[in-house]
A and B are shown apart, each in its own frame.
Chain A
Amino acid sequence: MTIEELVVKYESDEGMLIPIMQDIQAEFGYLPAERLRELAKVLDVPLSRVYQVATFYASFRLAPKGQHEVTLCMGTVCYLKGADRIAASICEEYGIEPGGTTEDRLFTLQAVNCVGACALAPVMIVDGKYFDSVTPDGALKIISKLQPKEKSESEGS
């Protein structure tokens, strides 16, 4: 969908800025800079506001995602059961920070506040699949099995 079409879908309502940006992100996996510029123009809001919204909310990304999504729950229960040690071991092994993507773009590590699956703590979600009672070693083992996707496949997701 072009930006014009998207803005029409939301009846040019600037109050719908966040849903519009969520739609863009759903299409590209992140918010490409040129799209945001275009959006600001078409919706007639200052680019600074678009950028403010894009950087304020944790779910928006300004850089492309890796081919796989590794989400680590940082909720209270997961933390009490060692989620911080899991995060540290992944970051150390792959030289990334939470929120970052590996150099080969194999995966993006996201640390989220709480996925509400506390009975399974500590929880790690890989491409939508839940893993329960994860340990630092166990997490590395799960990630080591990730395979690079074919290019055409990853573009569409």
Chain B
Amino acid sequence: MEPKTKVKVQNPKDLEKTRKAIVEGKKAAEKVIRVCIGTGCAAKGSKRLYELFCEAAKESEQNIKIETKCVGCHGFCERGPIVVIEPGNIFYQRVEEPDVAEIFRETVLGGRVVDRLLYEDPTSGKKATTEEEIPFYKVQHRIVLAGNGVIDPTNIEDYISIGGYSALAKALTEMTPEQIIDEVEKSGLRGRGGGGFPTARKWRSCHEAEGEMKFVICNGDEGDPGAFMDRSIMEGNPHSVLEGMIIGAYAIGASQGYIYVRNEYPLAVEHLTRAIEQSREWGFLGENIFGSGFHFDIRINRGGGAFVCGESTALIASLEGRAGEPRAKYVHTVEHGLKDLPTNLNNVETWTNIPAIITHGGSWFESIGTDGSKGTKVFSLVGKITNTGLVEVPMGIRLRQIVEEIGGGVKEGNAFKAVQTGGPSGGCIPTQFLDAPVDFDELTKLGSMMGSGGMIVMDEDTCMVNVAKYFLNFLKEESCGKCTPCREGIPQMLHILEKITKGEGEPGDIEKLEALGELVSEASLCALGKTAANPVLSTIKYFREEYETHIREKRCPAKECRGLFSYKINPEVCTGCGICKRTCPVEAISGEKKNPHKIDQSKCTKCGACFEKCPFTAIEKV
């Protein structure tokens, strides 16, 4: 064992004193440059921007103090890379390397705004100087994402400066475990991982369960395709996850915590690992935290890449070094979980809500949202939408507001068709229900679910049968194979969907899908199987006609299913360049150079090669 070193913070007074000192120290910096290094911005080269700003600050001969820092995801990924300059909170978007010198010279040194890098509202043409002026941010309500985009996720002092770990100090020195659970109960917080189970009820059961040792687990195995909220929290504000877990562990009486992070999220692992080390150093993890006599530590486990491990019992199996197969729910993990000991598992976003609830009180949290769904929810708004990104909205907000006000509507002027929530376990919600509120129970009533927060917008060019096929194919690959209805039922449904999208569908197929779907839902062991039919059943419910057109007319109305629509060359647009003619594998295209070409439909195999290659988009789907 290493010799015990003295931790930096012994009690709440220490913490407050330190916080004040950090805030005071920060005042010395006259200018702050914040560069987003969330995955979206980093993929577009924001790390290089950070280096260039650092160099510029170093080389500057002006005698001013400049703080340059990397921050977590701002959410507006569509407009990345994002750089914010203080004072003034000037919000620059789509910043590229050549812009750095100008921003530095004009804004950082000169205090002037670089107009061309500001966000411009596509409808009004109005420029926005700060985040608050941008419609994407206006209706958002940020609790979980409050620190994202503001603090450096690798610097614990930054987190402390915005009040970090003060909720932990309060919980450990002023509250009993029972009082904490009562406060969480008052807040009405429900699990953000998909199921929406009341958090306090789970905590209380685990608190009351008997066991020589107890565990808390943070489920960071965010598996729904199109969902990246949890990743952005773990990457952008890892200490908030830890703080929530430590408070929860104290309330439950757990001495060891685990964070199970998805394998595809290396930056989240890196930031969490660093946060844990810092937290130990400062005395927020380890022995006798805040002198309360409470001991707790956290370790990180990387997932192996299995969607089913998002299910709590499968995740626990994985933590025990076994294949991630779920078990029946009648054995409760709060009593018999990891290593057969009482275990409380919550999702990343759930844990992150805890510090805010302790700081501001359960009634404050309870005042936000609807009767059955309290607080906010983070969604990743993606798909055929103008403003792709991460949004945090109060529960009860209408879907329409998210899609139209925040998301800026469907891309390229196409018509909205549906929004898919809940990932592979969810369903599609069509236009007529766009005024439904975001609420656990309301979304379930519509045949979808809240899920972990993926919100995928689909337009008129999206074939709903193809969407259902995509999710079933995903689930077929990810079914663990333990129980028969899921293992065998999903491939059977997929087989029928494949037939339909190839134009081989038969009358009665829709009814077969419905019957199979019902069976798989009822007879499967875990939530993956129980909800597997949702994408199929909800699209049949709202888009039955589209299925029928595929089956009866062998036609795909959205023109997505290959073979169920034709290609035609628009003579007005065709320049006669001849690329399509050379590309066609069956010599179905004819025409003289510089004259409009034509497709011989009797020869055409509808492979789409010409469509992909035409540089003038003269080839249309009909």
B264 near A118 with CB under 8 A, answer no
Q: With a CB–CB cut-off of 8 A, which chain B residues contact A137?
A: 612-613
Task: Tell me which of A19, A113, A118 contacts B77 (CB under 8 A).
Answer: A118
State the CA gap A113–B420 with chains docked (Å): 17
Q: With a CB–CB cut-off of 8 A, which chain A residues contact B420?
A: 76
Sort chain A's interface into a size bin.
Answer: 35 or more
Indicate whether B119 reaches chain A with its CB closer than 8 angstroms.
Answer: no
State the CA gap A75–B320 with chains docked (Å): 28
Indicate whether A77 reaches chain B with its CB closer than 8 angstroms.
Answer: yes
Q: With a CB–CB cut-off of 8 A, which chain A residues contact B318?
A: 18
State the CA gap A79–B420 with chains docked (Å): 14
Indicate whether B304 reaches chain A with its CB closer than 8 angstroms.
Answer: yes
Which of A14, A74, A85, A120 has the most B CB atoms < 10 Å from its CB? A120
A76 near B305 with CB under 8 A, answer no
Nearest-neighbour CB distance to chain B for A119, whole angstroms, equals 4
A58 near B226 with CB under 8 A, answer no
B226 near A118 with CB under 8 A, answer yes
State the CA gap A56–B325 with chains docked (Å): 10
Sort chain B's interface into a size bin.
Answer: 35 or more
A15 near B321 with CB under 8 A, answer yes
State the CA gap A19–B39 with chains docked (Å): 24
A115 near B78 with CB under 8 A, answer no
Indicate whether B513 reaches chain A with its CB closer than 8 angstroms.
Answer: no
Q: At the interface with chain A, which of B283-291, B383-391, B542-550?
A: B383-391
Indicate whether B69 reaches chain A with its CB closer than 8 angstroms.
Answer: no
B388 near A118 with CB under 8 A, answer yes
Interface string of B455-467 (1 = CB under 8 A from A): 0101000100001
A116 near B227 with CB under 8 A, answer yes
State the CA gap A34–B471 with chains docked (Å): 37
Q: With a CB–CB cut-off of 8 A, which chain A residues contact B40?
A: 117, 119-120
Interface residues of A in 10-29 (CB under 8 A from B): 13-19, 22
Q: At the interface with chain B, which of A62-70, A100-108, A128-136, A145-153?
A: A128-136
Q: With a CB–CB cut-off of 8 A, which chain B residues contact A47?
A: none
Q: With a CB–CB cut-off of 8 A, which chain B residues contact A112?
A: 264, 305
State the CA gap A77–B384 with chains docked (Å): 8
A57 near B384 with CB under 8 A, answer no
B321 near A117 with CB under 8 A, answer no
Nearest-neighbour CB distance to chain B for A14, whole angstroms, equals 5
Task: Tell me which of A59, A114, A132 contacts B44 (CB under 8 A).
Answer: A132
Q: With a CB–CB cut-off of 8 A, which chain B residues contact A117?
A: 39-40, 43, 77, 228
State the CA gap A74–B319 with chains docked (Å): 26
What residues make up the interface of B, taking CB atoms closer than 8 Å to A? 39-40, 42-44, 77-78, 80, 222-228, 231, 263-265, 301-307, 318-324, 339, 380, 382-384, 388-389, 420, 423, 454, 456, 458, 462, 467, 470-471, 474, 478, 480, 608, 612-613
What residues make up the interface of A, taking CB atoms closer than 8 Å to B? 13-19, 22, 45, 49, 52-53, 56-60, 74-77, 79-80, 85, 112-121, 123, 130, 132, 135-137
